[in-house]
Every structure is written in C-alpha cells, then in structure tokens.
Amino acid sequence: MALARIHEPVESWADEYEVLREKIDLALGAVAIRIDHIGSTSVPGLAAKDVIDIQVTVAVLGDPQLVIAMTGAGFRLRPGAVNVERARQNGNEFDHVPRGADPGDMSEWEKRYFREPEGECEVHVHVRAAGRANQRYPLLFRDYLRTHPDTASTYEDFKRRLASLDIETGVYAEIKDPVCDLIMVAAERWAADTGWRAA
C-alpha cells in the first residue's frame, strides 16, 4: 500500500484539473450538473498529496450513462471501501459521516468513485448527487480554507506531521476525517454569517 506523502504546492495543479475537467465534461455532457476542483490541491498555496480531487455533481447517482461515459473516457470505477468506514453497496460507496449527521440517512453520504485512467497521474473523481450533504461538504471546506489562510496553514501543519509518521494513505484519511469535521464546524458558522453558496 502507498504511504501518505505531502508535497509542496504546485501551480500546475490548477492546470491539471482544467485538463481533467474538460475530459470529464466532454464524456458526461448534460449528465454532469457541475464539475469542481476540490481537496487540498484546489486551495492555492496549500501543501498536499500530489492527487487531483474532482467532484462531479449529478442529478441521479444511479444514472447508467454515468459509468458508461466515465469508463468510456478511461476512468476506472472503484467500488468498495476506501477505508474501514466506507462500505460498498449497489456499486456505490459512502463518504465519512461526520458526528452529528443523521447516520440513518446514508443517502446523504452515497457516491460513485472513479480513479485515473491506467498509467496516468493519480486522480480521484467523486461523483455525488446534487443537494446531498456530501456534495456540499467539500465545496464549503475548500472555500473556507481559501478565505482563511491561518486555518489552511494549521491544517497543512497537521497533514505534514501526520504524513511524517509513514502511514498508509487509507489510515491517513481515517485520521484526517475528524480534523476536517472540526474545521467544518467553523466553516458552517462562516457560511451562515456570510450567506455562503457554492459558486
């Protein structure tokens, strides 16, 4: 298994995302309501794993055209658990469920997950349904870090220290999830105070 490694910020991450966005947009057409750069590489100046995270928002997660179009473009559907909290069901996965969320309504955390075409740079494509809690979470998290550099810097320091333990990427993600949830507490207050909406 791969070990978590944090890289200095790279300006080309935004360009890499744009190339991928165009490829996904061409493949999915109207199936994709929106395509967003998410995760640490979407926050300028933030050190991160050298992985482009993309969120594709769709109207219906079970649309059969989704898998046909994405696999036709070379992306690989990765059903199954990414870590111990994420379970496989009906070809879908579930994101980490933050404390306080309704664990009985798992539809709020369901997604499809694709990886990069064989032999290309590492990419994680998270497909989530419009209006669901897990579709909103990474957009608010990203925008909060973009507008709060002290929080972004503290988050980076945590990630560097965690990666220095030479742990596998799945374990890294499991430990990081609750820290992200803590950041989201402040992000939710900021969203309420500012009337934040995903652009």
Residue pair 28/56 in contact (Cβ under 8 Å)? The answer is yes
**CA 94 to CA 40: how far, in whole Å?**
20
Strands 52-58 and 123-129: parallel
**CA 147 to CA 152: how far, in whole Å?**
9
What does the domain layout of the chain look like in residue ranges? 12-194
Nearest to 33 by CA among 60, 52, 1, 13: 60
Nearest to 159 by CA among 26, 151, 77: 151
This prediction's pTM: 0.92
Residue pair 93/112 in contact (Cβ under 8 Å)? The answer is yes
The end-to-end CA distance of the chain, in Å, is 36
Per-residue pLDDT, 101: 87
C-alpha dist (Å) from residue 152 to 58, 108, 137, 149: 29, 26, 16, 5
Per-residue pLDDT, 128: 97
Mean pLDDT (10-residue bins), the chain, 199 residues: 93 97 98 98 97 97 94 87 40 83 86 95 96 97 98 98 96 96 98 95
Complete DSSP assignment for 111-173: EEEEEPPTTSPPEEEEEEETT-HHHHHHHHHHHHHHH-HHHHHHHHHHHHHHHTT--BHHHHH
Structure tokens at 55: 């969120």
Per-residue pLDDT, 91: 53
Nearest to 145 by CA among 89, 96, 90, 183: 183
Per-residue pLDDT, 87: 41
Q: Which CATH number fits domain 12-194: 1.10.10.10, 3.30.460.10, 3.30.70.20, 3.40.640.10?
A: 3.30.460.10
Nearest to 130 by CA among 31, 64, 37: 31
Nearest to 132 by CA among 155, 101, 157: 101
